[in-house]
Structure 1
Amino acid sequence: MKRPGIVGSGQLAVMLAEAADSMGMPLALQASAESDPACQLATDVVIGPANDGAATALLAKHCDAIGFENEWVDLNSIAELEVCGLEFQPSAAVLKQLVNKRSQHLLLERLNLPCPRWCDLAEVVSAGGALPDHLQLPVMAKAMTGGYDGQGTEQVLNRASLEALLMRVDPRRWILEELVPFERELAVVVARDAAGQVELFPLVET
């Protein structure tokens, strides 16, 4: 049985640690502080923020495969550790496509999966503030990286709010999406193990 490790030590890491404990698996964590919630459930703890590649290298000494609580990691360090034979799930190549909302959209388009119509905010700047033909106000503005739980997102309702946004952010790091009206948000988890076995979990309302 492989010894798992997790980069991160918050609420999601707590749930992972509880699952590992139920299966009798020792779990190593990379935590930003010893007081983080998941630390009391871990067998081994390495102190260092999620983007500390040196701490991740120390974590690797306690485990055979490493997963992530969130995407705020040092991709270059992870790629270097992979070259040395360490297993990450997902891999650095996969994670690189997921940590950036722009690359997420491009991935969905390549897979022919539905996603909101969008454009680079820098494209709007180049067009003198005009939106492309496939978008119209109001729209949703999103930071390409770092946003979570409402952070790094805001509604752009009119021309004045668009101009205010352009004054406050780096357009090269933001995208605009069509504002999609919705009644509820649903989520489904599909997991695939190293052997290729796929498990579909029940649909839930978030």
Structure 2
Amino acid sequence: MKIGILGNGQLGQMLSDSVKDLTDLEVSLYDTRAHTDEALDAFLASVDRVSYETENIAANIVARLEAVEDKVYPSLKALKTFQNRLLEKNALRAAGIATADFCAVNSLDDVKAAVETLGLPIVLKTTTEGYDGKGQYVLRSPDDAEPAWAAIGNRELIAEAFVTFERETSVIASRDVNGNIVVFPMTENIHHEGILRYSLYPAANLSSEKAAIAERYIRQLADSLDYVGTITLELFETADGLVGNEVAPRVHNSGHWSIEGAQTSQFRNHMLAISGRELGVTDAQYPAVAMLNVIGEEVPAEKADNLDTAFRHSYGKEARPARKLGHVTVVGQSVAERDATIEQLTGLIPDGVWPPKH
């Protein structure tokens, strides 16, 4: 079987690498940045299954996928749902998942109405594209309406009530063509300036009740869309419970720890799912694991090369501020051992962001 991946960035490469040992599975990556209709049509005709490394796919490419819809996993329905934050929020609620209150925004008057309806503060976001904090504006006063619209407006937006949360977590699952689902252990995710800096397994002091709710949520979401592949649900942990934030219809940065840290990685299970194979076990291989993003420069990550409990992944990208250049996975036989290794890599983490505040 030949699988085509739309996108040849780090996620596409890690998807391909995850099944290199499966000799009857061939993987081809399509560079969406060098797209032509002719090249895409030839690519689609040459593969048995089509998947994608990101939901941020140009509309003209998505339109051409309609002709091979039966080959696309996850489905075009899932892709289109999670390309748009309004559709996403409605899908979460339809699946029985709590979310912040929200409303559509298409004009400056709509921004002002959202302030009245949702109260302050609110978060204004573009409905499409936008990641790592891009395309967002936090309004803390009615006077912020005009600057917010000037900054990211003149397009469809969503306004969301601000959620007071204790921390951010994520739950990742893989679902096969027969509806079988495996769920990865949850992680705690620490962001800085809108970018994920590190993820920790286990999520400290996570109750079994909340873990069970998160697993139920992601199962309900995947089943509601007849989803095939790996899917990620980002959750706010609040005093009142878990609140759905965003969905990624793909492998996710917070799951990179699974390459070394889980019995089967999120990447391999995605490929197993879309190729019609049995899913792998998702249990952690170590009592404690962390994933640290390498942002802006690679030099601090090079310390990991001399540590037995750290694994460095470089994405081969040109360095520039705020760009993800790679990640480091840290494993330990205990949280204390894991954290002691992280202490040796603190150049990767901005001041004040480590240790996590519980």
- TM above 0.5, one fold? yes
Do the aligned residues in 2 keep the contact of 1:97 with 1:103 (CA within 8 Å)? yes
**Greater strand fraction, Structure 1 or Structure 2:** 2
Where do 5+ consecutive residues of structure 2 fail to align? Answer: 190-358
Q: What residue number does 2:19 align with?
A: 20
2:69 maps to 1:70: no
Q: Deviations over 1:75-116 (max 9, x none)?
A: 21111222xxx5000121221111100110111122221111
Where do 5+ consecutive residues of structure 1 fail to align? Answer: 34-47
Do the aligned residues in 1 keep the contact of 2:125 with 2:157 (CA within 8 Å)? yes
**1:112 is paired with a residue of what secondary structure?**
coil
Counterpart of 1:118, as a letter, is F
2: CA distance, partners of 1:101 / 1:126: 17
Q: What residue number does 2:184 align with?
A: 201
TM-score, length basis structure 2: 0.48
Q: What residue number does 1:29 align with?
A: 29
Alpha carbons of structure 1 residues 183 and 22: separation in structure 2 relative to 1, 3 Å: farther
2: CA distance, partners of 1:109 / 1:168: 29
Alpha carbons of structure 1 residues 126 and 31: separation in structure 2 relative to 1, 3 Å: closer
Do the aligned residues in 2 keep the contact of 1:187 with 1:203 (CA within 8 Å)? yes
Q: What residue number does 1:95 align with?
A: 79
Question: Please, what is the CA RMSD of the aligned residues?
Answer: 2.2
Match of 2:168 among 169, 173, 185: 185
2: CA distance, partners of 1:12 / 1:146: 17
Q: What displacement does 1:72 show?
A: 2.6
Regions of 4+ moved over 4 Å:
none
Moved more, 137-146 or 108-117: 108-117
TM-score, length basis structure 1: 0.79
Q: What displacement does 1:7 show?
A: 0.3
1: CA distance, partners of 2:138 / 2:115: 17
Counterpart of 2:175, as a letter, is R
2:114 maps to 1:131: yes
Q: What displacement does 1:70 show?
A: 0.7
2: CA distance, partners of 1:182 / 1:109: 19
**1:14 is paired with a residue of what secondary structure?**
helix
Q: What residue number does 1:43 align with?
A: none
Q: What residue number does 2:140 align with?
A: 157
